[in-house]
Amino acid sequence: MTRIWNVYLSGEIHTDWREAIEKGCEAAELPVEFSAPVTDHGASDDCGVAIMGEEPNKFWHDHKGAKLNAIRTRTLLGEADIVIVRFGEKYKQWNAAFDAGFAAALGLPLIVMHGADHQHALKEVDASALAVIETPDQAVQILDYVINGKLPA
């Protein structure tokens, strides 16, 4: 029986990096299943008030949404075999840093992806990762190696 690896993809939502990893793993026929936080920014921000009622104070609006999102994140991240966290170029992704810390605290294998311009700012996050990469293709190559012991051609 082939093991199915559960890979949690956390981080920025403004590029297609998740799809690139998924397509690369499919092309390599890797036995992986992916999970992720809600990537619809509006839904993620407004889920609490949409379900539990409006809040006049933005703090409580965000607080409700964060708690609902945490149900999904804690569950799926906690069930992951490997966590990949991508830090994008455009926005500060505090949620991605939190997810990386959460994965590290759980002792989960962590792969961090970001450009060279974030090396200093993410040095502590990088120190907790088992791999620090820049591209989705590198993530696919790591998964292929970890699962099959296969190096890139």
Q: What is the pLDDT of residues 36-89, one digit of tens each?
A: 999 999 999 999 999 999 999 999 999 999 999 999 999 999 999 999 999 998
pLDDT at site 20: 98
pLDDT at site 1: 79
Query: What average pLDDT does the segment 9-15 reach?
Result: 93
β-sheet with 32-35: strand ranges across? 32-35, 5-11, 82-86, 110-113, 131-133
- Asked if 31 and 147 count as a contact pair (C-beta separation under 8 A), the reply is yes
pLDDT at site 84: 98
Tens digit of each residue's pLDDT (9 = 90 or more) over 77-104: 999 999 999 999 877 788 999 999 999 9
- Asked if 65 and 45 count as a contact pair (C-beta separation under 8 A), the reply is yes
Q: Full-prediction pTM beyond 0.85? A: yes
CB count in 10 Å sphere of residue 133: 17
φ, ψ of residue 30 in degrees (nearest 5)? -85, 140
Q: Give the span between the Cα atoms of 104 and 113, in whole angstroms.
A: 15
Whole-number percent of the chain with pLDDT over 70: 100
Q: Which amino acid is at 151?
A: L
